[in-house]
A and B are shown apart, each in its own frame.
Chain A
Amino acid sequence: MTILVLAEHQDTQLDEATAKAVSAAGRMGGDVHVLVAGSGCGAAAEAAARLEGVAKVLLADDPSLANRLAEPVAALVVSLAGGYDALLAPSTTSGKNIMPRVAALLDVMQISDVIAVEGPDLFQRPIYAGNVIQTVRSTDARKVLTVRVSSFPAAAVTAATRPIEAAAISADPARSSFVRSELSGSERPELTGARIVVSGGRALASAENFETVLAPLADRLGAAIGASRAAVDAGYVSNDLQVGQTGKIIAPDLYIACGISGAIQHLAGMKDSKVIVAINKDPEAPIFQVADYGLVADLFEAVPEFHATVAEKMRA
């Protein structure tokens, strides 16, 4: 069995999601190849070639693949599919955009958001916002899947490097063109890979409060900032910080939910965190039902005190 993993990367660097997808692919058994498709993405290919469990890297470096638009990348993956038994991508927004297109062109029913690999054709995936887990067997000859990165460890980085081969570039279907990106950009750790996440809900009441109340604690802890859907809908923070069923699905070591009630769709995004802390002034908030440590308090008092206490302990 040979598996092709579509890399998640920013051309000059490889995202950790790729290392996690590689380890998921390894569990299916067989050789794992990584496809790095982009423009000026040689550095990302070199990083992929150092991942444990990878046999070979395919580099598709072409201006038509800049910004990884679904139509040309899917065409490229389909052109390479003949040599593979399975095609796999992390379930990032990019993987979710591209892989169903690949699956349809190959007449394959994709298995989305796999959380456990039980065999080469047997997979577990969450349905109903993770309230139910479905185990499915694929009857398609070739498998197409996306994997939830928070469910798999990252493949190790090794000193040894594997061969990098150039892939033939397929013709761009030219059904879309890139206009612009507005990336939030932040000095803080990335939400999906952060060890600690400090998350805020509608109770924060403004964008300013995210910065003045939540951010100092997050920065003191070296944490990423997350948010509930309500806080994003209200415009307090940008969309890429949303944690939940249809936002980011994360499993940090410590998740601190501040002023988040705990709707089903939010819990779907964070309930696999190792330790959950909830700070909420409503003692009946559903978030307390999943929290390891609950503090019934007004976040506007408790969060600054949390910050001050941690600052003091860290000095000690």
Chain B
Amino acid sequence: MKVVVAVKRVADPNVKVRALADGSGVDLANVKMTMNPFDEIAVEEAVRLKEAGHATEIVVVSVGPEKSAETLRTALAMGADRGLLVRSDAVVEPLAVAKILKAVAETEKPDLIIVGKQAIDDDANQTGQMLAALLGWGQGTFASKIAIGGAAIEVTREVDGGLQTVNLPLPALVTADLRLNEPRYASLPNIMKAKKKPIDEKTPADYGVAVEPRLTVVRVHEPATRKAGIKVGSVAELVDKLRTEAGVL
């Protein structure tokens, strides 16, 4: 079974990102960048499938600027076999990313594609579903468990009421949720080995995909911040304030 995993380079999730003063975008100068945490989970799952003897090859793809190659290297150090950078310095929206990944899938012919359920920068939660739609494949989104069974997989999904399990004939697409696994840290020998693994480079134009955005960003601003309130000294004072001052009890 061949697996394709897509990864995105994003701002570190522990960094509090700020809007630019002129409202034109967010300030990413000097912000630490990392692999989208959900994509790390997707890579880890593919590597585990390979270690369990289900997957034969893992191809990791990223659409983004030149530095996305570093994110691909991280995935290669975790255990992916080769990388593909589809280079674009402009912002590429989820719909265009899905179109590019569709073209990649038509070349690579994977049995399974795993992506993170959402990127923690734009929080769009779209790319996987869009890619499955464009390929005409079944989708197992927000996955907390993948079970391989011959020509199909069973995916357990985290949904509003609890869990839902679906069966998908291969080829299929899965989007990884938080509890699918805990990603490993790459070991030093594997980081060294990853430097020798191949990363191919293409552009969206190579796949005939236009990346002009459909959404125009009119303004970017920070929401009104909540002010810290008061510290109370006791439970009795707390309950009293909630009843008389806040009127919520």
> Which of the residues B154, B221, B229, B243 comes within 8 Å of A291, measured between beta carbons?
B229
Q: Which of B167, B177, B242: most chain A CB closer than 10 A?
A: B242
Q: Cβ of A27 < 8 Å from any Cβ of B?
A: no
Q: Mark A79-101, 1 if CB is under 8 A from B, else 0.
A: 00000000000001110111111
CB atoms of A239 and B163 under 8 A apart: yes
Q: Cβ of B61 < 8 Å from any Cβ of A?
A: no
CA distance A295 to B229 in the complex (A): 11
**Contacts A253-B248, A296-B231; is A239 near B17 (CB within 8 Å)?**
no
Q: Which residues of A contact B214 (CB under 8 A)?
A: 108-109, 138-140
Q: Cβ of B222 < 8 Å from any Cβ of A?
A: yes
Q: Which residues of B contact A214 (CB under 8 A)?
A: none
> Which of the residues A97, A175, A180, A245 comes within 8 Å of B165, measured between beta carbons?
A180
Q: Which residues of B contact A110 (CB under 8 A)?
A: 94-95, 124, 126
Interface residues on B, range: 35 or more
Q: Which residues of B contact A140 (CB under 8 A)?
A: 214
CA distance A176 to B239 in the complex (A): 51
Q: Cβ of A55 < 8 Å from any Cβ of B?
A: no
CB atoms of B139 and A97 under 8 A apart: yes
CB of B7, distance to nearest CB on chain A (Å): 17
Q: Which residues of A contact B137 (CB under 8 A)?
A: 175
CB atoms of B160 and A288 under 8 A apart: no
CB atoms of B230 and A293 under 8 A apart: yes
Q: Cβ of B74 < 8 Å from any Cβ of A?
A: no
Q: Which residues of B contact A180 (CB under 8 A)?
A: 164-165
CB atoms of A135 and B217 under 8 A apart: yes
- Nearest to A146 among chain B residues (CB) is B125
Q: Mark A107-120, 1 if CB is under 8 A from B, else 0.
A: 11111110000000
CA distance A171 to B56 in the complex (A): 35
Q: Which residues of A contact B22 (CB under 8 A)?
A: none
CB atoms of A295 and B232 under 8 A apart: yes
CB of A145, distance to nearest CB on chain B (Å): 11
Q: Which residues of A contact B162 (CB under 8 A)?
A: 181-185, 238-240
**Contacts A176-B139, A296-B231; is A128 near B26 (CB within 8 Å)?**
yes
Q: Which residues of A contact B124 (CB under 8 A)?
A: 110, 112
> Which of the residues A92, A137, A233, A275 comes within 8 Å of B179, measured between beta carbons?
A233
CB atoms of B118 and A295 under 8 A apart: no
- Nearest to A297 among chain B residues (CB) is B235
**Contacts A132-B19, A175-B138; is A107 near B95 (CB within 8 Å)?**
yes
**Pairs of residues from A and B, 9 with the lowest C-beta to C-beta distance, nearest first:** A175-B138, A104-B130, A109-B214, A292-B229, A100-B129, A176-B138, A100-B126, A104-B133, A179-B165
B interface residues with partner A (beta carbon < 8 Å): 11, 13-14, 16-19, 26, 38, 93-95, 98, 117-118, 120-134, 136-142, 144, 154, 157-169, 172, 177-179, 213-223, 226, 228-232, 234-236, 238-239, 241-243, 246, 248-249
Q: A128-B121, A130-B223, A131-B18 are in contact. List 6 more A-B contacts (CB 8 A).
A: A134-B219, A140-B214, A176-B166, A181-B165, A240-B160, A277-B238
Instruction: Provide 20 A-B residue pairs closer than 8 Å at the C-beta atoms, listed in order of the A residue.
Output: A70-B132, A100-B126, A104-B131, A112-B125, A127-B26, A127-B123, A128-B17, A131-B16, A132-B19, A139-B214, A177-B166, A182-B163, A182-B164, A183-B162, A239-B144, A239-B158, A246-B38, A264-B14, A293-B230, A295-B234
A interface residues with partner B (beta carbon < 8 Å): 67, 69-71, 74, 92-94, 96-105, 107-113, 122, 126-140, 173, 175-185, 192, 196, 221, 229, 232-233, 238-240, 245-246, 248, 253-254, 264-265, 271, 274-277, 288-297, 302, 305-306, 309-310, 313
